[in-house]
Structure 1
Amino acid sequence: MAKFILPALALAGTALAQCDGPSFTISASEDASQLASCQTYDGDIIIASEVSGQVQLNGVSSITGDLRCTNASQLTALSADRLSSIGGTFDLEELQILSSLRLPSISRVNRVRWIALPGLQSLNFGAGINAANNVYISNTGLTDLRGIELTAVGAMDINNNQYLRTINVNSLTNVTQALSFSANGMNLAIEFPNLEAAGNLTFRNVSSISMPSLANVPGSIGFYSNPFESFAAPNLTATGNTIAFVDSPMLSNLSFPSLELIGGGLLLANNSELTQIAGSFPALSTINGDINFYGTFENVAFPSLTDVKGAATVYTSSTNGTICDLFNRAKTGQAIKGQVTCETGSTNTANNGTGTRSGSGSSRSSGAAVANLNFDPSAPLTGFAAFVAALLFI
């Protein structure tokens, strides 16, 4: 009897060892079957670069470490029917012909890192990933992000996915660090209907952005080279740092009806259709950094603004010389604490959006003032309120 028991114990020990890392390398598709008895694999699972065809991770429901595959140029498909969580990084890189990614039970991943997956057009993730600390997706063939169904995330960076057309993450409410989209497909439309807070926001080359629930951004908001015509943040009340709109040639309308505080500066530059900065920031009272305006605007109105802790640099091609008079009066009355540099009728209206200018404290104007500056005669103001009103068009 003993001679049968000992081999059985040896086999059991081997099976146990296969589920206990630190790592298991799949060098050929059939190697994955050695993990079939592992409900949890304690360590990293690595798919080697020489693997070709399909890899099926049947049986494994949890990986405590990474699931990694890099430079497997002949890998066509990866599936894991029961896998629900990855405690480390789900790392797929340089998989040129991977076209199928099937994880119907996946729900939790610590980090997603997908780079150079040109053949991957869609995800088969069932209900999808609803929890992740970090998501980085770059240079894939994805047309949408269905399967990434997060409620919260630390950071999300989606870039250089040229076929990506729509992003709608209905459940996302909080981004603790940063949310960034850049250089994806033309006419990319982004919708985050329930996003309430985000540490930092950066958008480049996006045709439309909808974030109606956004209320608080502890860091910065930056929009660069976007072909959209308008942007609205109806519930945003404060930012911890700068708001920037740069190089958006079709942008003609901004709406921040609830915004009261900008913790950094306000930069509006190279947006040729943005001729009105009036009605966009009706509740804004404090800017802790600089005002930097470069463009074609003819009308400026901040009816609640009383404190700009930095400088104001204003260059506009408009010949409305009164704009500079108003900024200078605000400086004289200390509503603007830093220097004021203002020029109307200017050809110096281009700015690369990389920083702020402190200015020289001077102002210039060209041409006659345009009669489009609206003051409220029913509420005459004197003293400090009068010079603030001169700038803010109350």
Structure 2
Amino acid sequence: MHSAKFLAVAAAFFGSAIAKDCDDDIEVKEANPVLSCDTVKGKIIVDDSVAGDLVLEGPEKIEGDIIINNATGIISISSSTIESVEGKFELVGLESLQRIGMNALTSINELEMRKLPALRDLTFGSKGVTEATIVTITDTLIDDLSGLMLDKVESLDINNNKRLTNFESSLVNITEALKINNNGKGMTVNMPSLESAKEIQIANVGSFNVPALETVSASLKLDKCDIKSFRAANLTSIKKALSFINNVQVTNISLPVLKEIGGDLRIVNNTKLTDIGSFPKLESMASINFGGNFKKGELPALEDVPGAAEISTTAKDDDGEEFCSYWDDLGDKIQGGVECTYDNENALEGGDKEGGQNSDGSSNSDDDDAAGMVSVNTALMGLGLLAGIAQLL
């Protein structure tokens, strides 16, 4: 009887001891530390001397950060108990790290993974991480990010992951920035549920699919992509700039319900794009900058451009003249004026208008102006010489 009571009391005592919270930061200096608390209220900081297979067992919640930086001897990181990290989960400069297996983890405030050149395998929870605020994944060998099952983030930055050729995401809202750049060759980015974002910057991808996108509260930029077409069937508003630059494979751009662009509309050096694009409902933008091999392009709903339109095309003869005549005829709607040249070998270089022909057939080069300046200066020199002779007489 007494022994049973003692065992019960002992079990309660030791159980409460094991279930305690850790109020202070914890510094980890060995690969398999003893972490006897359910909740860590401070940080877990792993010393850079730790090597081998790092196992973080015990806690379920980390209210602070997990910081693992410059521990170049760590090969793997695992935990079957940690469910949430309310601060930052920071992994930087782990040159030997090959695997991450956080099998219970579903919630992270900020995930930062940088300079992990050997990392191939990433596992988060049975259903992946479903909650995060800021996610940065750069310079890894990861080829699968299916462990990120997010509906909403502030920012998502995925770049320089050379084996990552496909990214599927169920994200609905991005309150700050989406940046995807320089990952695997021909990378496919499919975000079928994305409805709104603040800033979108996409570079070096093979396709970018956002069929549900409705609003961009800053800018949308596609640069140096191998996409053949881009369509955003539900996008109505871009508060700042829209730009397509150096996308050498694109032949079609379609934004059929876009009504307004708060900043610049810039389409430059997309060498296969001969039609500026389909913008049938676009009414306004701050300014226009087009440069390319254009033969066609109209904005039938255009009402007002407070700034200027700088437009140039390599198209020659009737194609080029007709193209520029259309834009010149829109001069009453473009308050800053229209500068359009055709047969311009510099057209792909940022829309440079120098060197081409104006729609009235006149040259737009500096040569005529230079000749005029030479003739005027010669005349002035002659007058000066005559005046000097007169003073000598």
TM range (shorter): 0.7 to 0.9
Is the Cα contact below 8 Å between 2:27 and 2:45 reproduced in 1?
Answer: yes
Deviation at 1:63, TM superposition (A): 0.4
1:381 aligned partner: none
1:156 aligned partner: 156
Q: Structure 2: how far apart are the matches of 1:298 and 1:221?
A: 25
Return the letter of the residue paired with 2:329: R
Out of 14, 19, 22, which is 2:22 matched to? Answer: 19
Return the letter of the residue paired with 2:348: A
Query: Structure 1 residue 286 and structure 2 residue 289: aligned?
Result: no
Alignment identity in percent? 32
Return the letter of the residue paired with 1:336: I
Q: Secondary structure at the match of 2:27?
A: strand
Q: Structure 2: how far apart are the matches of 1:218 and 1:310?
A: 20
Return the letter of the residue paired with 2:130: N
TM-score by length of 2: 0.83
Is the Cα contact below 8 Å between 2:291 and 2:350 reproduced in 1?
Answer: no
Deviation at 1:191, TM superposition (A): 0.5
1:313 aligned partner: 310
TM-score by length of 1: 0.83
Residues 301-336 of structure 1, C-alpha deviations (whole Å, 9 max, x = no match): 1121121221100010012212222222211x2x11
Q: Structure 1: how far apart are the matches of 2:144 and 2:262?
A: 34
2:293 aligned partner: 296
Query: Structure 1 residue 85 and structure 2 residue 84: aligned?
Result: yes
Deviation at 1:108, TM superposition (A): 1.2
Out of 327, 332, 343, which is 1:345 matched to? Answer: 343
Residues 98-119 of structure 1, C-alpha deviations (whole Å, 9 max, x = no match): 1111112211111111001122
Is the Cα contact below 8 Å between 1:60 and 1:80 reproduced in 2?
Answer: no
Q: Structure 2: how far apart are the matches of 1:351 and 1:149?
A: 41
1:184 aligned partner: 183
Q: Secondary structure at the match of 2:230?
A: strand
Q: Using a 3 Å threshold, how does the CA distance of structure 1 residues 59 and 13 change in structure 2: closer, same or farther?
A: closer
Q: Structure 2: how far apart are the matches of 1:252 and 1:300?
A: 13
Return the letter of the residue paired with 1:114: M
Which segments of 5 or more consecutive residues in structure 1 lack a partner in the other structure? Answer: 1-9, 369-394
Is the Cα contact below 8 Å between 2:134 and 2:154 reproduced in 1?
Answer: yes
Is the Cα contact below 8 Å between 2:344 and 2:357 reproduced in 1?
Answer: no
Is the Cα contact below 8 Å between 2:20 and 2:39 reproduced in 1?
Answer: no
Out of 344, 353, 358, which is 1:364 matched to? Answer: 358
In the TM superposition, 1:322-341 aligns within 5 A as: 322-331=322-331, 333=332, 335-341=333-339
Deviation at 1:96, TM superposition (A): 1.2
Deviation at 1:17, TM superposition (A): 8.4
Q: Using a 3 Å threshold, how does the CA distance of structure 1 residues 16 and 127 change in structure 2: closer, same or farther?
A: closer
Return the letter of the residue paired with 1:180: K
Residues 104-159 of structure 1, C-alpha deviations (whole Å, 9 max, x = no match): 22111111110011221121112111111111111011112111111000011111
Deviation at 1:29, TM superposition (A): 1.2
Residues 38-67 of structure 1, C-alpha deviations (whole Å, 9 max, x = no match): 111011001111101112111211101110
Q: Secondary structure at the match of 1:322?
A: helix
Q: Structure 2: how far apart are the matches of 1:189 and 1:367?
A: 44
Deviation at 1:178, TM superposition (A): 0.5
Return the letter of the residue paired with 1:343: T
In the TM superposition, 1:176-325 aligns within 5 A as: 176-278=175-277, 280-287=278-285, 289-319=286-316, 320-325=320-325
Deviation at 1:68, TM superposition (A): 0.8
1:390 aligned partner: none
Q: Structure 2: how far apart are the matches of 1:244 and 1:105?
A: 41
Answer with 1 or 2: which has the greater Rg. 2
Is the Cα contact below 8 Å between 2:21 and 2:39 reproduced in 1?
Answer: no
Return the letter of the residue paired with 2:187: L
1:51 aligned partner: 50
Q: Using a 3 Å threshold, how does the CA distance of structure 1 residues 72 and 352 change in structure 2: closer, same or farther?
A: farther
